[in-house]
Amino acid sequence: MTGPIIEARAIHKHFGALHVLKGIDLAVIERELVFVIGPSGSGKSTLLRCLNRLEEPDSGSIIVDGIDLLDRRTDINRARQRIGMVFQSFNLYPHMTALGNVTLALRKVTGRRRAAADEIGRAALTRVGLADRAGHYPNQLSGGQQQRVAIARAIALEPRVMLFDEPTSALDPELVGGVLAVMRELRQSGMTMVVVSHEMGFARAAADRVLFMDEGSIVEQGPPAQIFGEPREERTRAFIGQIQRH
């Protein structure tokens, strides 16, 4: 069995007096899709942001692809090239085309020349189904297309791991399918993924493992069939029961 590509141990995070993460342990093996569910305020997004040090944990250790992220000597910008992140908001530059948004980091961070960056960028846009939108600006694209550009921007850097923080929650329902289709393709290609989302149908169908978080702790984890069908913990049962009623 492959060793973990992500290994977080004893992660604690406070925001002032609020104890948001309470000693989280998480190991993700290569090519695994781990889905994190739980009520609002349970610490899901904070955990994800700690995994690429957008948030600084107060204590604990995080190793991603052999890099100790919390070691002060680690070049975090270089390390983040291996950790793609897709947010709820698309964070695209409005004055740049889709291709320009995708290639910016390739040119600025990896030093690629424009022609080489454009070639990689076009391939990434093709992969997310937007080859014909390379010259469009964000305001000419639907929300779903903008999110797919954001995914293309992340995968253009050839990360080893992808983190998705509520990637569909800002989208109209009819636009969600296109984004999930791209995520499904990434999964099939072997990308290691950690996903925070309310898309429970996608979790059931695509996840290898589902984590249920509540009040800063991982309450329960297991295969989708167990978590959705036969959860062991009372808090998990209550949450699953609630979402299945809606």
pTM here? Answer: 0.94
Cα torsion 74, 78, 81, 86: sign: positive
Q: From edge to edge, which strands make up the β-sheet containing 59-64?
A: 18-29, 4-15, 59-64, 67-68
- The model's confidence at residue 126, banded by pLDDT at 50, 70 and 90, is very high
- The model's confidence at residue 78, banded by pLDDT at 50, 70 and 90, is confident
Closest CA to 86 of 56, 117, 48, 123: 48
pLDDT value of position 100 = 97
Q: Does position 131 have pLDDT exceeding 60, yes or no?
A: yes
- The model's confidence at residue 2, banded by pLDDT at 50, 70 and 90, is low
Q: Does position 1 have pLDDT exceeding 60, yes or no?
A: no
56-76 per-position pLDDT tens digit: 999 999 999 999 999 999 998
pLDDT value of position 209 = 97
pLDDT value of position 173 = 86
The percentage of residues in the chain with a pLDDT greater than 70, rounded to a whole number, is 99
Residue 161, classed as helix, strand or coil, is strand
The CA-atom distances, in angstroms, between 13 and each of 28, 58, 61, 221 are 20, 5, 12, 21
The count of C-alpha atoms lying within 13 angstroms of the C-alpha of 181, restricted to the half-sphere facing its C-beta, is: 12
28-60 per-position pLDDT tens digit: 999 999 999 999 999 999 999 999 999 999 999
DSSP per residue, 214-239: ETTEEEEEE-HIIIIIS--SHHHHHH
Look at strands 67-68 and 209-214 and give their pairing.
Answer: unpaired
Average pLDDT over residues 118-137: 96
Mean confidence (pLDDT) of the chain: 94
Closest CA to 213 of 26, 4, 3: 26
Q: Does position 12 have pLDDT exceeding 60, yes or no?
A: yes
pLDDT value of position 243 = 83
pLDDT value of position 233 = 95
148-197 per-position pLDDT tens digit: 999 999 999 999 999 999 999 989 888 899 999 999 999 999 999 999 99
- At residue 118's C-alpha, the angle toward residues 112 and 123, to 5°, is 115
- The model's confidence at residue 83, banded by pLDDT at 50, 70 and 90, is very high
Look at strands 59-64 and 67-68 and give their pairing.
Answer: antiparallel
Cross-strand bridge partners of residue 68 = 63
Least confident of 137-151, 203-217, 232-246: 232-246
- At residue 153's C-alpha, the angle toward residues 147 and 157, to 5°, is 150
Q: Phi and psi at residue 71, in whole multiples of 5°?
A: -70, 125
pLDDT value of position 246 = 61
Helices in the chain by DSSP H: which ranges?
A: 44-50, 76-80, 98-108, 114-127, 143-156, 173-188, 200-206, 224, 234-245
Cα torsion 107, 112, 113, 119: sign: negative
